[in-house]
Structure 1
Amino acid sequence: MTPEVSVIIPTYNRRAMLLEAIDSVLAQSANALELIVIDDGSTDGTAEHLTLLAKNIRFEHIDHRGPAAARNRGVAMARAPLIAFLDSDDLWAPAKLERQLVFMRTNPACAISQTNEIWIRNGRRVAPGVRHCKRAGDIFIDSLRTCLITTSAVMMRIDLFRSLGGFDEIMTAAEDYDLWLRILIDHDAGLLDEPLVTRRGGRPDQLSAKTPALDRFRVLALAKLLAGDRLSPARRTAVVEALAEKCRIYARGLRRRGRIDQACLYEWVADHAHGWDTRPVPEIGCALESMQSMLREFPHER
């Protein structure tokens, strides 16, 4: 029988936490699901443990390429019309999928939804800041400066994911920020306002902690939006303002590290971005290519 939802967990060297995440999926009250785990080149024995669970999950071990590639591979294996992602360090409440499936059935025009969440930092529950509070509807502009969609809380239609090409695999961080913005151009976000996801943070192995200069990935995501023609005038102006702001922040950091040539590129983009607020121009494409080239040349920038 075809499952109603495919659950995709990417993981890298988190064997113990992964097993807890898997248990939280297997404990779901909804049973019309398939669980797909993509081991992104772990070296801590994760693959051996997954083999023992083979009867309950589908899994694949791939070369280490980052969460974007791992999630894309999981979606390529998915058989259901809906997909849900769970990071290997997060947990779901037992009713998460059941409640969200009901929401998606009740709102057939909704292409992407999320639930609310509980935040745990260093083993203690904390309250998210006001700017992180979730809401339903058109959240595109608000999402430019704060990522307002949580990957572990998302459920979306697989056709939408595939139509946009999935996560951008050149982005080893902020790949979720990039995809959600591309989706939010045309789609409102649905919200099931129940805390059905537990986000466990504050650890040094998290991408947000170990990836330097996260703004370089956010800048790339914004430049990609400006290179296309899907933005309304108001949204284009908002993207230009966010791009210029983030470029200046990143350029200051590059100068402090003596990367003057690269700093000049981002300063040039910040200075010229306000001329891009009406339509795509060739200069955006050139700047975009230079940014992508820098990411390839300096993937582990310090």
Structure 2
Amino acid sequence: MHEAPLVSILVNNYNYGRFLSEAIDSALAQTYANIEVVVVDDGSTDNSAEVLATYGDRIRLVAKENGGQSSAFNAGFQVSRGPLICFLDSDDIFEPHKVARIVEIFAGDSEIGWCFDRARHFEDTTKEWFPWTANVHKGKIDARGIVANGHAPYVFTSTSGLSFRRETLGHILPMPETLRIKSGISSDNYLKFAAYSLSSGWLVSEPLTLQRIHRSNAYTRRVSDKARIVGLSDILLGMCLSREFRILQHLGTKIFAHGLGKLWATGGLELEHREIAGTFLKSLSPQLRIEAILRAMWWGASEKFRRQSWDH
């Protein structure tokens, strides 16, 4: 790797004009100098355009029609130039030394293709920190064998904690733009699980990213009322992983079954998603199809039991 490689920071934005400046400013204020900040505005209808106009040529702007977070990732990657790429949601913040630390990690191990750092959560209105768990896995990890067997380690971060070598990300993007869920959890999980299947990587336990918890993304910290969002996200995520990465077929089917069970337990699937799910099940081998249905039934029963426990 070049001694000071260009690092592309990809900022994706949709109607977060009220947070956008703080995100971009944190990217521009990095102690590591050789960066480019690419901002993809995904058809915002708020004041985002006015905010972005104040930055001039300090950023590379991609203004596009609304297509969801997956399409924003694809568009940003297409115009970026750096051999290292960091993602940043427009409501989050990078610590000033984040990119320098990421470059240091990649320079120290030529085998790793990705680096995920922890995002520390803070409440937007009060600015108070959420509790921090110190005991998490850190260092180099190679999970290719694990994910091939249908399992995956817990990934402790969100979009803004994801960094990649360009070569690795080039095997992941463009991602299917059907992963369009308002929560965004499908898109970042797609990046994480795909990365696990492609190469070894590095988990950073120190907080390099600050994730803002606010009214529009408060599901991140909720437990009792997000089952349908997670369910729909998981059926789409599982299908896409299974189709795009053969090594992830078993894991993708399990994720799909988890989502299907949650939706069964919370009112069922809408017609559109019922047809999508049915087509996917038919595409599976008989053994995987039976396994998926049985897992969905188990997850559905578990979700119903959990909801009844909440009610009492």
Q: Match for residue 114 of structure 1? A: 116
Name the structure 2 match of 1:62.
64
1:222 maps onto 2:238 in alignment: yes
The 3 A distance-change label for structure 1 pair 138 and 203 is farther
Secondary structure of the 2:246 match is coil
Equivalent in 165, 169, 172 of residue 177 of structure 2: 169
> How far is 1:170 from its partner?
1.3
What is the identity, as a one-letter code, of the residue corresponding to 1:158?
R
Of 163, 167, 172, 1:159 maps to: 167
Mapped contact 1:168–1:175 kept (Cα < 8 A):
no
Runs of at least 5 residues in structure 2 that lack an aligned partner in the other structure: 290-312
User: Does residue 23 of structure 1 match 2:39?
Assistant: no
Cα offset for 1:236? Answer: 5.4
Q: Secondary structure at the match of 1:34?
A: strand
The match for 2:207 is: 195
Rounded Cα–Cα distance in structure 1 between residues aligned with 2:56 and 2:257: 48
1:241 CA drift (Å): 4.0
- Considering only aligned residues, what root-mean-square deviation do their CA atoms show, in Å? 3.5
* Counterpart secondary structure, 1:171: coil
TM-score (norm 1): 0.75
Preserved CA contact (<8 Å) 1:29 1:98: yes
Distance 1:188 1:143, change over 3 A: farther
Identity %: 23
- Whether the 8 Å CA contact 1:244–1:270 is kept in 2: the answer is no
SS state at 1:126 partner: coil
Give the Cα–Cα distance (whole angstroms) in 1 for the partners of residues 245 and 45 of structure 2: 43
Pairwise CA distance, 1:263 = 5.3
- Asked if 1 retains the 8 angstrom alpha-carbon contact of 2:42 and 2:68, the reply is yes
Q: Which residue of 2 aligns with 1:288?
A: none
How far is 1:39 from its partner? 1.2
Once residues 145 and 274 of structure 1 are traced to their aligned partners in structure 2, the CA distance between those partners, rounded to angstroms, is: 26
> Which digits, 9 at most, give the CA deviation of each residue in 1:25-53, with x for residues without a partner?
11110011000111111122211221221
For 1:143 and 1:197, the matched residues in 2 are separated by 27
Cα distance, 1:230 vs. partner? 3.2
In 2, Cα distance between equivalents of 1:204 and 1:229: 32
Partners of 1:197 and 1:143 in 2: CA distance: 27
Correspondence list, 1:8-157, <5 A: 8-122=10-124, 123-127=127-131, 133=136, 135=138, 136-139=140-143, 141=147, 147-157=155-165
Query: For the structure 1 residues 109 and 146, does the alpha-carbon distance in structure 2 shift closer, same or farther, using more than 3 Å as the test?
Result: closer
Summarize deviations over 1:123-166 as a string: whole Å, max 9, x none. 32112679x95545145659759654422112101222222333
Compute the displacement of 1:110 (Å): 0.6
Q: Do the aligned partners of 1:134 and 1:148 also contact (CA within 8 Å) in 2?
A: no
Residue identity matched to 1:194: E
Q: Distance in 2 between matches of 1:261 and 1:34?
A: 40
Q: Measure, in 2, the Cα distance between the counterparts of 1:101 and 1:119.
A: 23
Residue aligning to 2:190: 178
